[in-house]
């Protein structure tokens, strides 16, 4: 039986436009698994055409920790690498991964990977977009599970190190998908804030939150240096924050309709 050194794991839903290139960038691995959580487009068909195994696990809500843990348990590799459908493994990153597997050092069981981000078709370097590290590469026996509903974190034993070569991340490909993602995620983020008993939302909190986003991304991290796309991204992130906290206000108001504000 062939020894499976590396499994690359992809979680996807309705990613027919992106899943093919993600798989092609990963197909060199010993095993590629796609966990599909309810696609209604041709995501599954494309994955099967490219010869990878598809695991169906549809859920009504976003549960990334649950999905990452579930697909990890199905992987046969000694090492596992998580890849999103809108990400690509570059040849340099592939070679770095192979080198680490062949020369694994004791105690280092997890690796964070830098991401090179592309917004609306253009690489962005400012506004907090670069470097952007994500924890994706693990020696499987050391990875126990993932926890956290939205901003999931791995639970593992041993030390974490950092890779040098980035994943290419093609996020926010058009305004429609940006708006759809914001609408979906804002509900969950607002629910988490409400669950954490966030202070009541007053009018001045909206101004404070949006100005803080402008200052952090646009000025402190110089998002304007990415040109028009950078300015669009800064303004859109301000809008995204507004929608999340407006939903929080709505939840708070429904729970206490007599409260002022």
The enclosing domain of 145 has a CATH number of: 3.90.550.10
Give how far Cα 105 sits from Cα of 93, 139, 261, Å.
18, 11, 57
Give me the mean pLDDT over the 195-218 stretch. 96
Is 112 part of a structural domain of the chain?
yes
* N-to-C CA span, the chain: 66
Q: What is the CA radius of gyration of the chain?
A: 20
**pLDDT per residue as tens digits for the range 75-132:** 999 999 999 999 999 999 999 999 999 987 778 999 999 999 999 999 999 998 877 8
**Nearest-angstrom CA–CA distance, 187 and 181:** 10
- Number of other residues whose CB lies within 10 A of the CB of residue 16: 17
Q: In terms of Cα–Cα distance, which of 78, 76, 19, 79 is closest to 49?
A: 19
Domain that holds residue 209: 175-255
Same domain, 166 and 214: no
Residue 66 located in a structural domain: yes
Question: How many Å apart are CA 163 and CA 113, to the nearest integer?
Answer: 5
Mean pLDDT of 146-164: 92
- Whether residue 53 is contained in a domain is answered as yes
Residues 35 and 111 in one domain: yes
Does residue 43 sit in the same domain as residue 125? yes
Do residues 167 and 180 both lie within one domain? no
pLDDT tens digits, one per residue of 239-261:
999 999 999 999 999 987 655 45
Distance CA(111)–CA(105), nearest Å, equals 12
Max distance between CA atoms of the chain, in angstroms, equals 68
Answer with the one of 137, 171, 205 that is the final residue of a domain: 171
Answer yes or no: do 230 and 143 share one domain: no
Domain count, the chain: 2
Quick one: 32 and 116 in the same domain? Answer: yes
| Segment 149-172 mean pLDDT | 93
Does 114 share its domain with 13? Answer: yes
pLDDT in the model for residue 63: 86
Distance CA(125)–CA(163), nearest Å, equals: 18
In eight-state DSSP terms, residue 130 is S
261 lies in some domain: no
């Amino acid at each position: 039986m062939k020894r499976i050194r590396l499994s690359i794991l992809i979680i996807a839903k309705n990613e027919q436009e992106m899943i093919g290139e993600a798989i092609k960038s990963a197909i060199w691995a010993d095993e590629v698994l796609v966990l599909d959580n309810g696609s209604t487009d041709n995501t599954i068909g494309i994955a099967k055409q490219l010869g990878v195994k598809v695991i169906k696990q549809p859920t009504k809500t976003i549960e990334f920790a649950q999905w990452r843990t579930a697909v990890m348990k199905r992987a046969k590799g000694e090492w596992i690498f998580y890849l999103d459908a809108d990400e690509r493994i570059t040849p340099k990153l592939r070679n770095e991964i192979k080198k680490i597997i062949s020369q694994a050092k004791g105690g280092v069981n997890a690796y964070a990977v830098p991401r090179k981000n592309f917004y609306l078709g253009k690489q962005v370097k400012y506004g907090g977009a670069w470097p952007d590290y994500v924890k994706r590469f693990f020696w499987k026996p050391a990875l126990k599970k993932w926890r956290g509903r939205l901003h999931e974190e791995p639970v593992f034993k041993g030390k974490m190190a950092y890779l040098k070569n980035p994943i290419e991340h093609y996020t926010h490909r058009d305004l429609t998908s940006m708006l759809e993602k914001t609408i979906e995620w804002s509900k969950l983020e607002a629910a988490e804030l409400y669950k954490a008993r966030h202070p009541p939302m007053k009018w001045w909190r909206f101004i404070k939150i949006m100005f803080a986003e402008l200052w952090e991304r646009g000025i402190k991290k110089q998002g304007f240096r990415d040109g028009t796309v950078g300015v669009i991204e800064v303004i859109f992130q301000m809008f995204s924050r507004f929608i999340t906290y407006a939903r929080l206000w709505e939840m708070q108001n429904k729970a206490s309709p007599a409260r002022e504000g």
